[in-house]
Amino acid sequence: MPQNGKCQLQPPTGYPCDLEIAVRHSLSFYHQTEQPFLVCFFSDSKSPLLKASLLDEAEQTGDIQLVCKDGSKVPAHSAVLASIPYFRTRLKDDWSGPGWTLTNKLELSLPCPVTRDAVEAFLKYAYGGAWSLRQLSPTDALMMQELFSLADACGLLSLCSNISDMAVVTLDSVGSWLEFVSKEHGSDVQMLDKKIRDTVGDTFEKLNSDKAFWEALNAEQLSSLAQIAKSARCEEATLGQG
- The per-residue pLDDT for range 132-184, each reduced to its tens digit, is 999 999 999 999 999 999 999 999 999 999 999 999 999 999 999 999 999 98
Q: Among candidates 139, 138, 135, which has minimal Cα distance to 173?
A: 139
> Looking at the 3D structure of the chain, how many domains does it have?
2
The Cα–Cα gap between 160 and 150 comes to: 9
Which pTM does this prediction carry?
A: 0.74
> What are the pLDDT digits (tens) for 172-224?
999 999 999 999 888 889 999 999 999 999 988 888 888 888 888 888 988 88
Q: Is residue 190 part of a domain?
A: no
Q: Is residue 226 part of a domain?
A: yes
Domain assignment of residue 3, given as a range: 1-109
The answer to whether residues 166 and 138 touch, using CB atoms and an 8 Å cutoff, is yes
For residue 44, name the pLDDT band (cuts at 50, 70, 90): very low
Give the chain's end-to-end CA distance (angstroms, integer): 64
Q: 3-state DSSP call for residue 109? A: strand
d(CA 187, CA 156): 10
pLDDT of residue 99: 61
What is d(CA 101, CA 56) in angstroms, rounded to the nearest whole number?
18
Instruction: From 72, 94, 109, give the residue that closes a domain.
Output: 109
**Distance between CA atoms of residues 137 and 162, nearest Å:** 13
Residue 83 and residue 126: Cα distance in Å, rounded? 9
Whether residue 152 is contained in a domain is answered as no
Whether the Cβ atoms of residue 185 and residue 173 lie closer than 8 Å to each other: no
**What single-letter amino acid sits at 146?**
E
Q: Domain boundary residue among 109, 136, 164? A: 109
Is 196 domain-assigned? Answer: no
Whether residue 3 is contained in a domain is answered as yes
Considering 109, 131, 163, which residue would you say is the last residue of a domain? 109
Q: Flag whether 50 is in a domain.
A: yes
CA distance 125 to 222: 46
- Angstrom distances, CA of residue 55 to CA of 74, 202, 217: 11, 42, 53
Residue 157 included in any domain: no
| Other Cβ atoms within 10 Å of 234 Cβ, number | 10
Q: Are 66 and 105 in contact (CB under 8 A)?
A: no
Domain-located, residue 18: yes
Return the higher-pLDDT residue of 231 and 1: 231
Q: Where are the alpha helices (DSSP H) in the chain?
A: 19-30, 37-42, 48-56, 58-61, 78-81, 85-94, 116-128, 141-154, 157-166, 174-182, 190-207, 211-216, 219-241
* C-alpha span between 47 and 41 (Å, rounded): 8
